[in-house]
Structure 1
Amino acid sequence: MEISVKDYARECAERGLRGDYSVCRADFTVEQGYDYSDDQQEVWRILCDRQTKLTRRLAHRSYLEGVEALGLLDRIPDFHEVSNKLRRLTGWEIVGVPGLIPNAPFFEHLANRRFPVTNWLRKREELDYIVEPDMFHDFFGHVPALSQPAFADFMQMYGDKGQSVGEIGGEDMFGRLYWYTAEFALMQEPGQPLKAFGAGLMSSFSELQFAVESKDAHRVPFDLETVMRTGYEIDKFQRAYFVLPSFEALRSGLQTADIRSIIKRWKDAPPLDPATI
């Protein structure tokens, strides 16, 4: 059952979420409201400067190309300006949201090549960790990848297919595919060193280094059905990282997979332990 904006706003207030959901439109979007203080702009630069030192060494080249093409590092990005650049590259645009939104509008936005980005930024005392996804996570982590055609197509397909998984009880399984790709994927193209890809890694100072460089990180070749069956960690380092050979493999994997059959086959089974796959 779809939830109304009013009911969701009340639920978020009860959960103590930070965003202002009272000003949401019917599709859960809000204006960015570009009125950030000098201190907020400095927090953005600190976050970008610190993380860029790592991403230049550990991130997949396509992510770095996206950062360069979109110009995200000097100041808090203007959603409209970045949308204009993205439309020319892959047909995507940015829409502002107050934070996490329900699955139904999230899938609908993705299916129409609109990526929801939180319109508020973490505080100075939260540089290292924040519970909710904020603008830095969404913009610095997710948006550069949308400049890559194969990944942009994957995200649109993900939104399109996601609109029907709820009716067969598959939202948890389908959410794992997003988690282990858009959030915490690694990439190793033939003959190339291992690199990171995924917003959860791009926006994390410590986990990015762990996932790529630590001998203790558990890295597994990407398999879409296995991904959908594997549990994950929300508030600690992942116990498994799936390694993609290319964005094209990700796009074609989702394009050819019978998602509904996978869900029906495994939805009642306990999730796989990521440490043992």
Structure 2
Amino acid sequence: MPEGDTVWRACKRLDQALGGQELTRTDFRVPSLATTDLSGQSMLKVVAKGKHLLMRLSNGVTIHSHFRMDGSWHLYRPGESWKGGPDYQVRAVLETAGWVAVGYRLPVLELVATKAEDTVVGHLGPDLLSPDFDRSLALANLAAEPERTISEALLDQRNLAGIGNFYRVEVCFLLGIHPWRPVASVDLPAVVDLSRRLMKSNLRHAAQVTTGVDRPGQRSYVFERAGKPCRRCKTKIRTAQIGEPPRDRVSFWCPACQPEDRNSPVDSR
């Protein structure tokens, strides 16, 4: 699932291309918006909020989209071939004089009044990538449920917005935290600060890197490395699902570098 840094980069590209420009054609390919025509409106600003993307228009309407597992926006020049997938996966087309923005596989695509954006993003905690990130509020949100696992608390976008499974897994490894550790036993300031630092460091390039080595197969310490040797101690990386369905996520950890807490469930072994 795309995380906050991926959405932030998409937002920046879209804003640079479409910001301040008039929409010459729009084509929404979802039933609820099939008859909507926003041509003639200007794109005032494209804004990222955690994993949500908000396109604010001059008529007081915002196009709200969320990538979830594999949605994306692609930019093309007029007349250029689209390469983001087959046509049946296209959910929206926004054209200006100089650019064509094509939204592929967007599971969330809707229009909301700009003044009512809180109805779709108001539940989010502080955005890790926001310049006015409220660290104190994020820490208070995480600490509010001390018995919850740190993994579930970090992935709850109501606590802090933008972090996903990749950063959650890697941060826990780098700080030596077992995925099932309860929030109360974790150094929350260290977790929040490292999460923000890693995400901000990856804004400069498309790949998500925590090892400092931006090469295929070498970008992560434990993420998607089940059964492979730990980069630090050579112990085999373990994996298991954590959390309650449908919000459960796969976790990866090194049992030596991230010692098990006695409160961890048996099925985490």
TM-score (norm 2): 0.26
Counting strand residues as a fraction of each chain, which structure ranks higher? 2
Q: Which has the larger radius of gyration?
A: 2
Counting helix residues as a fraction of each chain, which structure ranks higher? 1
TM-score (norm 1): 0.25
